[in-house]
Structure 1
């Protein structure tokens, strides 16, 4: 199985457990690794045969911008479930990073894998 990926997608998000975090937007970072058989689009050279990373990215942006998430864990799980459902992909790895959340670190976050790994 091949991997279609999006790295370092930066999205303004309402995320966090503190009251002040619920009133502001903080930039988060999302990485996606999505299993897909790329032999068909490679042979056809047709966008309709691909796992369209632009469409996937737009879905993630819309999801993040539409609601508040207390935890990066819930956000990662929601992203994974939506993309698996929409694209019928067998496996996904989602990384959600929250820069500046812990003093002295460049970023904290979670990485999850869902589905059957290729």
Structure 2
């Protein structure tokens, strides 16, 4: 059977710790962030061949995201989200990518603050 539909990979609730923010306590202490990514790509070659070399490797993407988030410092949620989005969208077979990052407990009386960015290629 030949597939013709785009595939969607969803990375859900990737919980990491990073330096994020502009206040002294945020600069000096890692905070939790929760990352959700949605990646649309053409999976025809992979689905029709069962060949890993023709697939978009979500494990590789996730490892790159983890390394970026854990090894860098960010003042703004916008910069962190944009950098993660660039990794999610870098493969040539990706047509669309969307990343949402939550910063739990960033506001009093709120579970979290989140920012979403997306790109169409």
The two structures have a TM-score, normalised by structure 2, of 0.88
Q: For residues 103 and 20 of structure 1, what CA distance do their matches in structure 2 show?
A: 15
Deviations 1:40-65 (A, max 9, x none): 21111122211111111110010011
The count of aligned residue pairs is 115
Would you identify which runs of 4 or more consecutive aligned residues in structure 1 move more than 3 Å? none
Structure with larger Rg: 2
Q: How does 1:26-105 map to 2 (within 5 A)?
A: 26-85=31-90, 87-88=91-92, 89-105=94-110
For normalisation by structure 1, the TM-score amounts to 0.90
- Unaligned runs of 5+ residues in structure 1 are none
Counterpart pick for 1:14 among 10, 19, 41 = 19
Alignment deviations for residues 87-108 of structure 1 (CA, whole Å, 9 cap, x no partner): 1222110001001111111111
Query: What residue ranges of structure 2 are gaps of 5+ in the alignment?
Result: 1-5
